[in-house]
Amino acid sequence: MIKKRLPPLNWLRSFEAAARHLNFTLAAAELNMTQATISQQIKGLESQLGCALFIRLPRGLELTDAARAYIPGVRESIEKLSVVTDEVFGKERSHTLTVRSNLVFFNTWLAPRLANFRHNYPDIDLRFTSNIWLDSVNKEADIEIRYGKGMWPDLISDRLTWDQLIPVCSPQLLGPDHISKDTPPPSNAEELAEHTLLHVIGYEEGWGHWLKKLGHHSIDASQGIHFDSLITAMEMAVQGHGIALSRTSIASTLLASGKLIKPFEGGVTTEEAFFIAIPSNKPIQNHVQAFRSWVIHQGQNARY
Protein backbone atom coordinates (compact mmCIF):
# COMPACT_ATOMS: atom_id res chain seq x y z
CA MET A 1 0.00 0.00 0.00
CA ILE A 2 1.44 3.40 -1.05
CA LYS A 3 1.02 6.05 1.65
CA LYS A 4 -0.05 9.51 0.54
CA ARG A 5 2.71 12.08 1.04
CA LEU A 6 1.95 14.50 3.87
CA PRO A 7 1.67 18.18 2.94
CA PRO A 8 4.33 20.59 4.26
CA LEU A 9 3.63 21.85 7.79
CA ASN A 10 3.71 25.51 6.76
CA TRP A 11 0.92 24.82 4.21
CA LEU A 12 -1.18 23.21 6.93
CA ARG A 13 -0.56 26.14 9.32
CA SER A 14 -1.68 28.57 6.61
CA PHE A 15 -4.79 26.47 5.96
CA GLU A 16 -5.67 26.31 9.67
CA ALA A 17 -5.29 30.09 10.13
CA ALA A 18 -7.23 30.88 6.95
CA ALA A 19 -10.00 28.46 7.94
CA ARG A 20 -10.25 30.05 11.38
CA HIS A 21 -10.39 33.64 10.08
CA LEU A 22 -12.05 32.87 6.72
CA ASN A 23 -9.77 35.61 5.45
CA PHE A 24 -6.32 35.29 3.82
CA THR A 25 -5.28 38.79 4.88
CA LEU A 26 -5.95 38.16 8.58
CA ALA A 27 -4.25 34.74 8.37
CA ALA A 28 -1.21 36.38 6.77
CA ALA A 29 -0.99 39.00 9.54
CA GLU A 30 -1.18 36.29 12.25
CA LEU A 31 1.58 34.19 10.67
CA ASN A 32 3.70 37.20 9.71
CA MET A 33 3.41 36.41 5.98
CA THR A 34 2.11 38.24 2.94
CA GLN A 35 -1.39 37.63 1.66
CA ALA A 36 0.11 36.40 -1.59
CA THR A 37 2.20 33.78 0.26
CA ILE A 38 -0.86 32.48 2.12
CA SER A 39 -2.79 32.26 -1.15
CA GLN A 40 0.06 30.46 -2.88
CA GLN A 41 0.42 27.91 -0.03
CA ILE A 42 -3.31 27.23 0.01
CA LYS A 43 -3.22 26.62 -3.75
CA GLY A 44 -0.28 24.25 -3.27
CA LEU A 45 -2.18 22.36 -0.56
CA GLU A 46 -5.29 22.12 -2.72
CA SER A 47 -3.22 20.87 -5.62
CA GLN A 48 -1.55 18.16 -3.52
CA LEU A 49 -4.83 17.04 -1.92
CA GLY A 50 -6.62 17.12 -5.26
CA CYS A 51 -9.62 19.13 -4.11
CA ALA A 52 -10.65 22.68 -3.28
CA LEU A 53 -10.64 23.80 0.35
CA PHE A 54 -12.18 27.25 0.03
CA ILE A 55 -14.98 28.77 -1.96
CA ARG A 56 -13.86 32.27 -2.95
CA LEU A 57 -16.75 34.68 -2.40
CA PRO A 58 -16.89 38.41 -3.29
CA ARG A 59 -16.63 39.36 0.40
CA GLY A 60 -14.76 36.49 1.98
CA LEU A 61 -14.21 32.77 2.06
CA GLU A 62 -16.26 29.69 2.78
CA LEU A 63 -14.98 26.21 3.62
CA THR A 64 -15.81 23.37 1.28
CA ASP A 65 -17.24 20.14 2.70
CA ALA A 66 -13.81 18.50 2.34
CA ALA A 67 -12.19 21.37 4.25
CA ARG A 68 -14.75 21.11 7.08
CA ALA A 69 -13.96 17.42 7.42
CA TYR A 70 -10.20 18.04 7.25
CA ILE A 71 -9.78 21.03 9.57
CA PRO A 72 -10.47 19.29 12.96
CA GLY A 73 -7.64 16.80 12.42
CA VAL A 74 -5.26 19.47 11.16
CA ARG A 75 -6.02 21.76 14.11
CA GLU A 76 -5.63 18.96 16.67
CA SER A 77 -2.31 17.87 15.15
CA ILE A 78 -0.89 21.41 15.18
CA GLU A 79 -2.00 21.94 18.79
CA LYS A 80 -0.44 18.64 19.91
CA LEU A 81 2.80 19.47 18.12
CA SER A 82 2.85 22.90 19.74
CA VAL A 83 2.29 21.45 23.22
CA VAL A 84 4.97 18.78 22.97
CA THR A 85 7.44 21.27 21.46
CA ASP A 86 6.88 23.64 24.36
CA GLU A 87 7.14 20.86 26.94
CA VAL A 88 10.43 19.53 25.57
CA PHE A 89 12.10 22.65 24.22
CA GLY A 90 10.12 25.80 24.97
CA LYS A 91 11.01 26.43 28.61
CA GLU A 92 14.23 24.47 28.54
CA ARG A 93 16.10 26.98 26.43
CA SER A 94 15.55 29.89 28.80
CA HIS A 95 14.14 28.76 32.15
CA THR A 96 14.91 25.11 32.90
CA LEU A 97 18.15 24.39 34.73
CA THR A 98 19.50 20.83 34.56
CA VAL A 99 21.70 19.92 37.53
CA ARG A 100 23.60 16.63 37.67
CA SER A 101 24.39 16.06 41.32
CA ASN A 102 26.20 13.67 43.59
CA LEU A 103 23.29 11.80 45.18
CA VAL A 104 24.31 11.91 48.84
CA PHE A 105 25.13 15.61 48.53
CA PHE A 106 21.73 16.27 47.02
CA ASN A 107 19.82 14.36 49.72
CA THR A 108 21.67 15.65 52.76
CA TRP A 109 22.98 19.10 51.80
CA LEU A 110 21.28 20.54 48.74
CA ALA A 111 17.65 19.41 49.07
CA PRO A 112 17.11 21.05 52.50
CA ARG A 113 18.29 24.38 51.04
CA LEU A 114 16.35 24.35 47.76
CA ALA A 115 13.27 26.07 49.22
CA ASN A 116 15.41 29.20 49.54
CA PHE A 117 16.48 29.06 45.89
CA ARG A 118 12.95 28.42 44.64
CA HIS A 119 11.67 31.34 46.71
CA ASN A 120 14.29 33.69 45.28
CA TYR A 121 14.10 32.40 41.69
CA PRO A 122 10.50 31.23 41.10
CA ASP A 123 10.84 31.50 37.30
CA ILE A 124 13.67 28.95 37.06
CA ASP A 125 12.45 25.37 36.65
CA LEU A 126 14.78 22.71 38.04
CA ARG A 127 15.67 19.28 36.72
CA PHE A 128 17.99 16.96 38.69
CA THR A 129 19.88 13.85 37.66
CA SER A 130 22.42 11.83 39.65
CA ASN A 131 26.10 11.17 38.88
CA ILE A 132 27.35 8.09 40.72
CA TRP A 133 30.09 7.64 38.14
CA LEU A 134 32.07 10.47 36.56
CA ASP A 135 33.45 8.88 33.42
CA SER A 136 32.56 11.86 31.28
CA VAL A 137 30.92 15.26 31.31
CA ASN A 138 27.15 15.06 30.96
CA LYS A 139 26.49 17.21 27.89
CA GLU A 140 22.84 17.76 28.81
CA ALA A 141 23.60 19.15 32.28
CA ASP A 142 24.03 22.89 32.76
CA ILE A 143 25.78 22.35 36.11
CA GLU A 144 27.33 19.41 37.93
CA ILE A 145 28.02 18.83 41.61
CA ARG A 146 30.97 16.45 41.98
CA TYR A 147 33.16 15.03 44.69
CA GLY A 148 36.91 15.09 44.18
CA LYS A 149 39.79 17.56 44.06
CA GLY A 150 38.20 20.01 41.65
CA MET A 151 40.45 19.32 38.68
CA TRP A 152 38.45 18.03 35.73
CA PRO A 153 39.11 18.70 32.06
CA ASP A 154 36.68 21.06 30.30
CA LEU A 155 35.11 22.16 33.60
CA ILE A 156 35.37 25.25 35.78
CA SER A 157 34.84 24.24 39.43
CA ASP A 158 34.20 26.05 42.71
CA ARG A 159 34.57 24.40 46.10
CA LEU A 160 31.44 24.06 48.22
CA THR A 161 32.55 22.12 51.33
CA TRP A 162 35.50 22.06 53.72
CA ASP A 163 35.20 18.75 55.53
CA GLN A 164 36.61 16.57 58.23
CA LEU A 165 36.58 12.80 57.79
CA ILE A 166 34.86 11.39 60.86
CA PRO A 167 33.67 7.92 61.93
CA VAL A 168 29.88 7.69 62.36
CA CYS A 169 27.52 4.92 63.37
CA SER A 170 24.17 4.14 64.93
CA PRO A 171 23.87 4.57 68.72
CA GLN A 172 23.35 0.78 68.84
CA LEU A 173 24.97 -1.61 66.36
CA LEU A 174 23.69 -4.97 65.18
CA GLY A 175 24.90 -7.86 67.26
CA PRO A 176 26.43 -11.18 66.14
CA ASP A 177 23.07 -12.35 64.79
CA HIS A 178 23.02 -9.31 62.44
CA ILE A 179 19.41 -8.67 63.44
CA SER A 180 19.22 -7.24 66.97
CA LYS A 181 20.77 -3.88 67.84
CA ASP A 182 22.55 -4.87 71.03
CA THR A 183 26.20 -3.96 70.52
CA PRO A 184 27.55 -0.63 71.79
CA PRO A 185 29.63 1.53 69.42
CA PRO A 186 33.44 1.51 69.69
CA SER A 187 34.80 3.92 72.27
CA ASN A 188 38.15 4.42 70.52
CA ALA A 189 39.85 3.75 67.20
CA GLU A 190 41.53 0.54 68.42
CA GLU A 191 38.10 -1.06 68.88
CA LEU A 192 37.35 -0.62 65.17
CA ALA A 193 39.03 -3.98 64.61
CA GLU A 194 36.05 -5.59 66.36
CA HIS A 195 33.46 -3.90 64.12
CA THR A 196 32.44 -3.88 60.48
CA LEU A 197 33.86 -1.02 58.42
CA LEU A 198 31.61 0.46 55.72
CA HIS A 199 33.60 1.50 52.62
CA VAL A 200 32.78 3.62 49.56
CA ILE A 201 34.39 2.59 46.28
CA GLY A 202 36.11 5.38 44.37
CA TYR A 203 36.90 7.67 47.30
CA GLU A 204 40.65 8.23 47.66
CA GLU A 205 40.23 9.36 51.25
CA GLY A 206 38.72 6.23 52.78
CA TRP A 207 39.36 4.12 55.85
CA GLY A 208 42.94 3.33 54.84
CA HIS A 209 43.72 7.03 54.51
CA TRP A 210 42.04 7.90 57.82
CA LEU A 211 43.77 5.13 59.80
CA LYS A 212 47.17 5.99 58.31
CA LYS A 213 46.78 9.70 59.09
CA LEU A 214 45.98 8.96 62.74
CA GLY A 215 48.68 6.31 63.10
CA HIS A 216 46.47 3.23 63.54
CA HIS A 217 48.56 0.88 61.39
CA SER A 218 47.57 -2.38 63.08
CA ILE A 219 43.90 -2.26 62.02
CA ASP A 220 42.89 -4.06 58.81
CA ALA A 221 41.50 -1.25 56.66
CA SER A 222 40.10 -3.61 54.02
CA GLN A 223 37.63 -5.63 56.09
CA GLY A 224 33.94 -4.82 55.96
CA ILE A 225 31.28 -4.06 53.35
CA HIS A 226 31.91 -2.04 50.18
CA PHE A 227 29.42 0.23 48.41
CA ASP A 228 29.44 2.26 45.20
CA SER A 229 27.95 5.37 46.81
CA LEU A 230 28.23 7.15 50.13
CA ILE A 231 24.46 7.40 50.46
CA THR A 232 24.11 3.61 50.73
CA ALA A 233 27.01 3.39 53.19
CA MET A 234 25.38 6.07 55.34
CA GLU A 235 22.03 4.27 55.31
CA MET A 236 23.73 1.05 56.35
CA ALA A 237 25.38 2.95 59.19
CA VAL A 238 21.97 4.29 60.28
CA GLN A 239 20.65 0.72 60.25
CA GLY A 240 23.49 -0.37 62.56
CA HIS A 241 25.47 -2.53 60.12
CA GLY A 242 28.84 -0.96 60.91
CA ILE A 243 30.98 2.16 61.10
CA ALA A 244 31.02 4.55 58.14
CA LEU A 245 33.60 7.20 57.40
CA SER A 246 31.67 10.31 56.54
CA ARG A 247 32.29 13.92 55.61
CA THR A 248 31.11 16.46 58.19
CA SER A 249 28.99 18.33 55.63
CA ILE A 250 27.12 15.11 54.85
CA ALA A 251 26.83 13.76 58.39
CA SER A 252 25.70 16.96 60.11
CA THR A 253 21.94 16.48 59.62
CA LEU A 254 21.99 12.83 60.69
CA LEU A 255 24.15 13.66 63.71
CA ALA A 256 21.78 16.45 64.74
CA SER A 257 18.78 14.11 64.46
CA GLY A 258 20.46 11.43 66.60
CA LYS A 259 20.23 8.77 63.87
CA LEU A 260 24.02 8.73 63.83
CA ILE A 261 26.63 9.52 66.44
CA LYS A 262 30.33 10.22 66.35
CA PRO A 263 31.50 7.41 68.67
CA PHE A 264 34.91 8.94 69.45
CA GLU A 265 37.10 11.86 68.45
CA GLY A 266 39.30 11.63 65.40
CA GLY A 267 38.81 14.00 62.49
CA VAL A 268 41.06 14.24 59.46
CA THR A 269 40.91 17.29 57.18
CA THR A 270 39.98 16.32 53.63
CA GLU A 271 41.66 17.34 50.41
CA GLU A 272 38.68 16.06 48.46
CA ALA A 273 35.47 18.07 48.60
CA PHE A 274 32.19 18.72 46.85
CA PHE A 275 32.47 21.14 43.94
CA ILE A 276 30.04 22.86 41.63
CA ALA A 277 31.27 22.66 38.05
CA ILE A 278 30.20 24.18 34.74
CA PRO A 279 31.48 23.53 31.20
CA SER A 280 34.39 25.81 30.33
CA ASN A 281 33.54 25.90 26.63
CA LYS A 282 29.99 27.28 26.90
CA PRO A 283 28.70 30.79 27.63
CA ILE A 284 27.16 31.04 31.11
CA GLN A 285 23.45 31.81 30.81
CA ASN A 286 21.74 33.96 33.41
CA HIS A 287 19.75 31.13 35.04
CA VAL A 288 22.91 28.99 35.27
CA GLN A 289 24.88 31.80 36.87
CA ALA A 290 22.04 32.47 39.32
CA PHE A 291 22.11 28.88 40.61
CA ARG A 292 25.91 28.74 40.62
CA SER A 293 26.22 31.95 42.66
CA TRP A 294 23.50 30.83 45.05
CA VAL A 295 25.13 27.42 45.72
CA ILE A 296 28.58 28.98 46.23
CA HIS A 297 27.08 31.44 48.71
CA GLN A 298 25.34 28.59 50.55
CA GLY A 299 28.63 26.71 50.77
CA GLN A 300 30.52 29.69 52.14
CA ASN A 301 27.89 30.16 54.84
CA ALA A 302 27.93 26.50 55.86
CA ARG A 303 31.60 25.71 56.45
CA TYR A 304 31.94 22.76 58.81
Same domain, 185 and 128: no
Looking at residue 88, its pLDDT comes to 67
Q: Is residue 42 part of a domain?
A: yes
Q: Is residue 125 part of a domain?
A: yes
Mean pLDDT of 157-164: 94
Mind listing the pLDDT tens digit for each residue in 113-148? 999 999 999 989 899 988 655 544 555 789 999 988
Q: Is residue 40 part of a domain?
A: yes
Mind listing the pLDDT tens digit for each residue in 272-304? 999 999 988 888 888 999 999 999 999 988 765
- Letter string b/e over residues 160-185, b meaning 16 or more CB atoms within 10 A of that residue's CB: bbbbbbbbbbbeebbeeeeeeeeeeb
Taking the C-alpha atoms of residue 128 and residue 287, their distance in angstroms, rounded to an integer, is 15
Q: Is residue 173 part of a domain?
A: yes
What CATH number did the domain enclosing 66 receive? 1.10.10.10
Q: Provide the whole-model pTM.
A: 0.64
Last residue of a domain, one of 43, 61, 90: 90
Mind listing the pLDDT tens digit for each residue in 59-95? 888 999 999 999 999 999 988 888 787 766 655 445 7
Residue 265 belongs to domain spanning: 164-269
Domain count across the chain: 3
3: pLDDT strictly greater than 70: no
Same domain, 285 and 246: no
Same domain, 81 and 223: no
Do 233 and 200 form a contact (C-beta atoms < 8 A)?
yes
What CATH number did the domain enclosing 296 receive? 3.40.190.10
Looking at residue 1, its pLDDT comes to 43
Same domain, 254 and 195: yes
Taking the C-alpha atoms of residue 8 and residue 25, their distance in angstroms, rounded to an integer, is 21
Q: Is residue 115 part of a domain?
A: yes
